[in-house]
Structure formats: structure tokens, C-alpha cells
Structure 1
């Protein structure tokens, strides 16, 4: 907590909050960002001539450090009636983190879930070895800037609003820190290719608070915010065989949340595309129930039904809202191991596992949830996309524009494309070409109009 809070605060707000913190004669924020943009520019230079590179992500899920937090105020445990997602574990404050980093033994409340669903609290002691991260054991830059004082007998908060106000003015993290960061990022990549897109992210927890991108964003910016079903991600609990009511409720929830994410893009620079830059489903649900069933010899799709249905609900919602997305993740070394998962903090979101080899899907997990027909390019404006897995039918509607040189391309996974697809088209006339080796159905229009298609995929 201390290292995380200190480094994110320094990276974005060091020049404002700790102006005296110098690294080689340069403020810590300028030092860190100069090296970050230097690394970005070096990569941009190497890939500038590649036609398949269309832009850069700004920074994966940027933290805000302690900006906006009170020095010593910690959240109270929610009542049992509050079912909102809550991160369980130690409830650090900036004051806790700074004391621990300074080498002071610090007790922090630890939240856990009791049997009745309420939050149980007990204290955990940190840094009992009294090890300081600072040269000469301090004082640290925040103490020097007047946030707190270690003291001879006990540490004290000097400025409770240190991370909230500066020079009497309330700090706005997006306006004061993210806005100049985005412009520097755009300049770093576009010095090598002026046509590159900027796929911008802010901290995903800020979106949950109703916050968004700053008003002044670089041109050609894409809303690349990340989205997860937080209740599922954090609890890792789901019905092994979700019923229709459960699926309907999930789709309603996902529809509301993802529609809001699309609205964020619509407000960016007067209207920008939205790419859900990251989403996924945990595979170690219910204490690894699927792993245990596979290990016991089950070799059917029912093993991954909970995960497949969750993914299906997400993709159905994305299609309804006409949103693009990238799923996290594929880890080639992943194993069905609760202690390790896919190597990303025990998140276990990989669609692949070595333990599922050999098999019909050659290592794939819950493949039915994400392997589906997809309208990946359109010669015009996409009006509607819908895939019914139960019916095995993919429907689409496009307002065609013959001035566009490229073909409409529908990706048809190999599991559906062993024979020529059965497709019924109505409306504007189009030519079609099926390329099973590329898993593509191409459509080409010579005149404007709306084409509607029904593709049978079994």
C-alpha cells in the first residue's frame, strides 16, 4: 500500500505536492514521466512504419495514489444490507502508509466477510521489523512538505487535507494531472506518426464514482476504459448452473453499466468511439469448482457453463450496444492452480490452460462463451448485430455506403464454417464470398441501401 500510494502520487502529483522531492536535480514527477514518455517514444519509433499499428494506449489503469484522500480517515464497514462490491483486506490510509514506509510499526484494520454476510474487522500489525524505505530513514518528502510529522514519541497528522487541497485550492486529479499527461502522451507518439490514435484510460474506480475524462483531450482520442462485473471479479462466486432469471438480471446490469461507458465516449471531444479496453471472467469460480470437476474426469462443456454463460451475457450486451472490446486474457503458461492462476495476482482470467490439453478446444476454457460470429468490418454503418447461441443464428443490419472501398467482413469461427454458411440476405444487393481458410464471409455492395442478413451457424 505504501509503495503503491507513494509512487502513483509522485508520478502524477509530485510537482504539486512535493516540489522539493528531487531526483538528479529534477522533480520526481518530471523525472518519472520523462522516462515513461521516453520509453513510449522509443517503441513508437520502432513500430512507426507498421500498418497494423493504429495507436497507443495511454497507461494501463492509471492509479491516483493518495490524491483526493484524507490523511487519516478510513471507510467504515458497510451494513449487512449493503451488497455493493467491497475490497476485503487491510484498510490503509495515507497516514498508515507513510508511517509504515518511515519504519514505524503500524496497526491497520483488516476487513473480512463473516458467515452472516456482515463485515468482520480485526487489526493486523505491519512493519514489525521497523524497516524504513527512505535513505537515512527519512524524513520523507511528504513530511518535508508538511503532511505529517513522525515526532519523537508519536506520529501526528499536520495537514488532514494535504492530498485534497494545495495552496488553498481543491485538487482536481483529472483536470490538473491527467489532462496534461494525455497531451504529453499524444505528443510522444505522434512525433513518429501523426495519424495514430490515443486509446485513453483513467482509473476505473473513478468511473464508478461518476468521474470521467478531462474536458480538454487530444484530438483522435478513443475511450478505452476497462469494465468488469466487479461483484463476480471480487467474490468469485456464481451459480454453477445459472438459471434464466439470473442471466436476465445480469444482462440488465451489464446493459446499464456498459451503456454508461459508451456515454463517456460520446462526451469525449464532442463524440468519440468507445473500445472496452479490457474485460474478462474469472475461471476459478466457487473455489475452483471447474478445476476439480475437470481433474475428476469430466470432459464436457458443462464444466465451464458458469463462465461461458457469464461471457455470453457480456458479448450479447456488447453486440446490443454496438461496442468493440478486447478480452483479458490469454496466458500460455496458465494452469488450473488456485495458488497461481494466470500469474496476474491470482485473478485467473485466462481463456487458455495447459491443463485443458489435449482436448477438442486444445486448451481453451469456456470457448462457447466467446467463440461466436462477429461483424468485424462494415462497408457502411452498422445498425444492428445479434447472435442467438440457442438458435445458432447471427443477425445483422448495415446501412451500406458503396463509396467505402473495403468489404463487409463477418468472422465465422472454424467450428461453424466447415461448410458453406447458410445466409439469407434482404434489402440492398450485395455480392458474397466465403473464405473458410480465413474464417471470413465477405460482402460487397455496389449501391447504397440497407442490407439485412440472417446467418445460420451450427
Structure 2
């Protein structure tokens, strides 16, 4: 087991552990039976059919081959993806026992390969039926929403219904659309903003949170007692919905692509009004209007028959005598009882505390990997109420992710809201952006560790040219730039992602994304653990798995393959320092330079074991290829 001590993870020998892992896996967002990938339209809206996630991220029969590969690649941590829909696909209190048993068997098998695991209740834009993944269809029904008409009313942009080609990264715009924004507003703030919306005797907020937490407790109960399970993520990339929104006439989402509606327009269109709206595109110079379209020309409603828009019901807007929609309360979501709304402290934190308490009622030692909304800071916590937490924020190279192109000279910082020019400036900014997460951990989470829960690059950049040529140079350059920034900050991370059924044509099988570090389409020799890997030249790099002290400096040059690591030893560490040395990078062996002490090589486990002396305070290990 590992424990938290200040900003570090500590193993049973008192050593500082560095967590390096992957998200497993990208296609776990969608059912395995039937194979309902995001591009498959047939049967998508038939919510009464039996679905199963048994087999996500891969069938148990294939587990050894994948775990063996990930172990060979030096990873020691898995952020294991599950979803609310996978656990309770058909009804609030009906759990898929076969899936829970599968999950237990999978985690038990992963433990045989030495992985630490934390469970991620994944979601993107609430649900598959609102253009992402996560929540089951019955959550919409509880709120009175009709998934059959989301597409026509602009309530959601869904790949399964939109068809191909699907606009790049357009799924993210669903965070501002009616279905997703409404559900998150109700999930976190239903008691405040929709007090009359109830399911039975429960307010919708309590209904949703209670059943989400109960589903995750089912997972915790099945995995109880497995020492490789170190903790639980809170809720992947949560959204405030419209809580805190002070301008219902404008959509401030940073990425504008396709139909972009203000909250008021989204409410109006979802209630059966036709609207003429602009079409947007997003490029290197930002967002621009590129045309117009008529939304919801048939006058359909996103609400179930006999149900009224919940926001109309609560006085946010109405139709006047002439039938024209009128906004009545523009500050409805931003001001409560005359006071400004603080989503993070007033709505998000209470949920996190409730969730953590529920998980720890089953697993008292569980680490809580606290994940704030994207581009937001975590809450200010009370460590007496919420101890043993990790800042599990996400970070991506924004320019490369959204354009699917690697540009060594041009980048973007969401933190500073500015373009970055020049190689050195981009790397400095990446380091600074990641360091900002560390500072938030120190000031808001009381010196908690920082683990980037997601970080990665699109492998299909430049129209998938590498798949035709076999040359992943640009992917290597992009990935190395990110990993350099991580190493400069001595950060932990779980890379997005490893998808066992990735293909060159469909990527991770979800909304056109393709970030997997493995694909069967790159696999020429199944007997070779490296075959099928992508951008391995930059990905596979030495790192200190366990350090008998405090890491000070970590550097690796993927071109020269020179690795340098400095640490300060601590008497409390009762074992040697252990460094992963990928044989892929050093096929002819290594040359090792030490400031002091001795070492030995363990070829089978690809480890360098270093024994420091007490003569020096700091110790440096330098490794070069022979």
C-alpha cells in the first residue's frame, strides 16, 4: 500500500513513490454488448434494450496481454474507467451484477502485475445521450427530458445521430447545451434552482446524487479488501451547468463550433421554438461566424409529453401574450438571496464531502482523487473534514489537442488566455501552467499531492499521416514537450489513454478522438510487447519509481537518451532507490555515473537499483546509452 505524506506518495519502506500510469481505457465510455460506438446510429435510442459494459476496457481473456505490455512500458498506476451507466444501466436501484463481478476480476488480475489502481467514475457532458458518456438514460427521464428530441432541438450534439464527418472536438460544446447544462445544474444545485422538481418525495438534486453515490458504493463494496485499489476519483470533468452564470444571453464557452446557443436560446429552442442561429468555427485565430441555420424547424420539444421546461416552471423565462419568449430573471443562476453564487465552495465541495464520506464508509483508507471542473481551481477544503486527498486536475496541450496538429512554434495558454510564440516560450508556459496546479494543491488542498488525471496528445494529428508512413516524429515531439514539463515539476500523471480496440480509422471509438498510445492497427508482431505502441520514443523514458528520499531534479532527453536524477536522501526511507530503465531505449545497455554509492541492474524488471551512501546529502544518477 501507499499513503499520502504532505505532497508525496510514500510506500511501506518509507520511499517517495512516483505514480506514472494510463487511463484504461478510451472505449470504456460505451457498452460492449452491443458494440455501441459513438459513430453507430442503429439502435442508439432504443434505451429499453439490454446493454452491458462487461468487456470494457477489454475481455478478461485478453487482460494478461495488455497488463503485461503496460507493465513492460514501466507504468505502475491505472486510472480505471467506469461509468454510472455501466453500473446501473436500466434503473436507479438495479445494478449490473455481472459487470461488478467482471470489474472485480479485472482489478484482481491487474494486481498480479503490481499496478496501483484508482477508480474513475467517468463522464463527459453528462451522458452518451447528450453527446458524451457517463449517466444512464433514466436520469433524463427523472428530470422530465426526452432524449428522442435532443438532436433536433439543439439540446445536444450527438455523434450517433449527427453522423460523419463529426466536427473535431465539437462534443465539448455540449457543456453549454440544454441537456448537459440542465442535468449538471440539477445534480449540483437542484434544491436551490429547481426546488419544485421532485422524484417522489425527493428533490431532483438529492435523487441524482444519492443514486450516483450508491452506484459507486457498489463498486467500492465489490473491490473492498483488494490492496491494489488505492482510491477513487470524484467525478470526471464535472460541470457547474449554468450555476454561477450571470449572462443568460451569451455563451462564454471558450470553444465555439457549429451551433452555439446562449442559455436562454437553449431553453427556448428546447421548448419548441424555431430559431435562426449563427454557425461557428474554431481555428488558430479563435472563433468566427461562418454562416446561419434554422434550429428546430419542426417545433419539437426536448421535454417529455406533459412536462414543462424546468426553467420556465421556475420563472427564468416565459412566453408573453404574443407567444414570444421573454427572459424574466437574467441573474437567476448567479445570485441567491441577494448574494453572489460560488459554485465551487457552495455546491461542488458539499458533494465531494458527501461522496468521500460514502466511499470511506466502505474503504476508510481510500484516497480521494479530487477533480475540479476543467480550467477551474479546486475548492478550499478543511483537512479535518476531507483528509487524504489528491489534486487530480487535468491538463492538455490545448493547441495540439484542438487543431490535431503539432506546431513547435505556436501554442496556447488557457491559464493566461494568450497565444504562445516560440519553442522556449511554449515549454516555459507548459511548465508554469502545471506548476500552477501544484500551487493550488498547496494553498487550497493543504499541500496535497498533484497528479494530472488526464494528459495526452492526439495520435491522429496531421490527418493521420503517421498511420500511412509509420513515422510518428510529430507525435514524439508533441508528447516529449508535455512530458518535459511534467518532469520539470516532478508531477505524477495518468496518460489519456490506452484503448485496446483502437483503430486508425475510428481512433478510440468515441467522438472522433484518437489519443491511445496503443492500437492493434500498429501491431505487426503480437509476440513483441512494444508492437502496437505509438510514439514510444518519447513515451518510454526512465523515471524514479521509488526514491529513498526527496526528488529534486528529473531530466530526460529523448533524442540523446541521457537521463539525470537528483534526490536528497532521508533516513526514514528504509530501502534502495529504484529507477525504471526501458530496454526499448537502451537495447545495448547503459553507462551509469554516480556521485556516490553503488548500483545493480535487474534486467527482467528493467530496473536500476541504487544504494546511496550517507556521505552526501544530495545524490545524482546519470544514465547514457552504451
1:231-265: CA deviation from partner (whole Å, max 9, x where unpaired)? 221122234999xx954332122112111111111
TM-score (norm 2): 0.65
Cα distance in 1, alignment partners of residues 276 and 460 from structure 2: 32
The equivalent of 2:238 in structure 1 is 62
The equivalent of 2:418 in structure 1 is none
Of 255, 263, 281, 1:112 maps to: 281
Q: Is it true that 1:26 corresponds to 2:206 in the alignment?
A: no
- Where does 1:218-229 land on structure 2 (aligned, <5 Å)? 218-229=386-397
Q: Which runs of 5+ in 1 are unaligned?
A: 78-84
The equivalent of 1:318 in structure 2 is 486
The equivalent of 2:622 in structure 1 is 454
Q: Contact conserved, 2:542 with 2:563, CA < 8 A, in 1?
A: yes
- Larger CA deviation: 444-453 vs 379-388: 444-453
Q: Is it true that 1:432 corresponds to 2:599 in the alignment?
A: yes
Q: Contact conserved, 1:102 with 1:138, CA < 8 A, in 2?
A: no
CA RMSD of aligned residues (A): 2.5
Q: Which runs of 5+ in 2 are unaligned?
A: 1-176, 411-420
Of 581, 590, 613, 1:421 maps to: 590
Shift of 1:141: 2.0
Of 501, 510, 519, 1:353 maps to: 519
Q: Contact conserved, 2:409 with 2:426, CA < 8 A, in 1?
A: no
Shift of 1:310: 0.8
SS of equivalent residue, structure 1 residue 226: coil
SS of equivalent residue, structure 1 residue 355: helix
Shift of 1:378: 0.7
Cα distance in 2, alignment partners of residues 284 and 140 from structure 1: 41
1:95-131: CA deviation from partner (whole Å, max 9, x where unpaired)? 1221222222233322125899772343332222322
1:76-103: CA deviation from partner (whole Å, max 9, x where unpaired)? 89xxxxxxx7432322211122122222
Which structure has more RCO (C-alpha within 8 Å, separation ≥ 6)?
A: 2
- Larger CA deviation: 95-104 vs 275-284: 95-104
Alignment length (residue pairs)? 433
The equivalent of 2:315 in structure 1 is 146
Q: Is it true that 1:130 corresponds to 2:299 in the alignment?
A: yes
Residues 193/72 of structure 1: CA separation in 2 closer, same or farther (3 Å cut): closer
Cα distance in 2, alignment partners of residues 122 and 95 from structure 1: 21
1:147-188: CA deviation from partner (whole Å, max 9, x where unpaired)? 111446111111011111122221110011111011112101
Q: Is it true that 1:157 corresponds to 2:327 in the alignment?
A: yes
- Larger CA deviation: 67-76 vs 119-128: 67-76
Q: Is it true that 1:308 corresponds to 2:476 in the alignment?
A: yes
The equivalent of 2:345 in structure 1 is 175
Residues 395/92 of structure 1: CA separation in 2 closer, same or farther (3 Å cut): same
Q: Contact conserved, 2:391 with 2:445, CA < 8 A, in 1?
A: no
Cα distance in 1, alignment partners of residues 610 and 500 from structure 2: 35
Cα distance in 1, alignment partners of residues 612 and 249 from structure 2: 62
Q: Contact conserved, 1:426 with 1:451, CA < 8 A, in 2?
A: yes
Cα distance in 2, alignment partners of residues 348 and 237 from structure 1: 13
The equivalent of 1:82 in structure 2 is none
